[in-house]
Amino acid sequence: MIIQDFLNWVSTAPDGPRAEAAGALARAWLYSNLSDDDRQGAGAALIYLLDDPVVAVRQALADSLSGSPDAPVHLILALSQDVDEVAETVFARSPLIGDCELVDAVASASERIQIAIAGRQDLSPTVAAAVSEVGLPSACAALLKNHEQTLLASTFHRINQRFSDVCEVRDLMLDRRDLPIPLRHALLKQIADGLIDHPFVLESVPAHARSHFLLDATDKVTLRLASEATGEGLTDLTAYLRETGQINTRLLLRAVCTGRLRFFVCSLSLLGNIPEARLRDILASVRRPALQAVLRKAGLPARSHEAFMVAVDIARSGDVDFCEDLPIALARTLTEAVMSVLQDEALGGTDSDIMAFIRRFAVDVARTEARAYVSGALQKQLAAA
């Protein structure tokens, strides 16, 4: 009787109250202790409301039913085929919409529906991959904002292939903790490469120095990532750099001079095909011929060998652990000592380009240490205020 009264009323009720009543009826079907007759009548009334000409009425049904696994499947499927204002709630929340329906919707539905799907809390790797494959940039951005989900490396790579030139998408990828470190490096390098045309660079960096500026920026990005990487992440990064031909003498010298010894060891191990444990034993020993053989096997030019060997000798004399990176103060001390030894007349044969690298790195390390000191001093003042 109650359901019959509802049907009589709903046919003439104003739009707003009718939408409120539709939501209340849906919640009653889900959560109230209805008799069999009333439940059957309520189900019929809900189906009847699917044809209501007012979107707000159907939207109220979607809002009330979408979050429940006990909602009538036929109602959920019907609402998912409705206009976007109604369907997006279903696609965003309903546990009754399976992966097949979600993948089909990503491929054929509107941008609004793609975004709703990308933001689901229970998004599967299959659906995430579909978004990365055919989703619009806004849908991929919504997927990257969905930090509830861990994305596969292949999903990140596909998004990068399609939209790495879209600033929002690129920034959101960099904001993800699960972004593979080789891809993070590629994105940061892309940003660094773009600095060459940045107005600040064009105004403040002389034309003849811009290529050096770009190389320095790329090296700094690489070593910053290396310093933050875990053991496996560092290996992945180094392997990627080797495969793409980005490990060179300049980068390895900078690594030593800035105290990034873990990256130096990992790179030398890969380039020379020597187990890291054995390489650390060579570095910790006094066997210069063995180290020179490693440098030769790694393909580093002979003119750079003396600089590396001097750096290792000085590090070893200071009981440096080649399993850890150096604090910036120790890195500066090491670099200045290397530069002093190489400038000695007895080592005058060291090539000028190697010395130029080391002098430049010494300046960078000194500036980095100074910035760290000033920052620390300011923080102490603020804490004491």
Total residues found in the chain within this entry: 385
Per-residue pLDDT of the chain (385 residues; tens, 9 = 90+): 466 677 667 666 777 788 888 898 899 889 888 778 888 888 888 998 999 899 999 999 999 999 999 999 999 999 999 999 999 999 999 999 999 999 999 999 999 999 999 999 999 999 999 999 999 999 999 999 999 899 999 999 999 999 999 999 999 999 999 999 999 999 999 888 887 777 777 677 777 777 777 888 889 899 999 999 988 999 999 999 999 999 999 999 999 988 899 999 999 999 999 999 999 988 888 678 889 999 999 999 998 998 899 889 888 887 788 889 988 888 888 888 888 888 764 445 556 778 888 888 877 777 777 776 666 666 776 666 5
Evaluate the CA torsion angle 124, 126, 132, 137 in order and state its sign: negative
CB 97 within 8 A of CB 69: no
Amino acid letter, 291: L
Element (DSSP H or E) covering residue 313: helix 302-317
CB 160 within 8 A of CB 187: yes
CB 137 within 8 A of CB 169: yes
Domain limits of the chain? 1-97, 247-384
Q: How many CB atoms lie within 10 A of CB 231?
A: 11
pLDDT tens-place string over residues 196-226: 777 777 677 777 777 777 888 889 899 999 9
pLDDT at 330: 84
CB 267 within 8 A of CB 247: yes
Q: Which 8-state DSSP code applies to residue 326?
A: P
pTM: 0.82
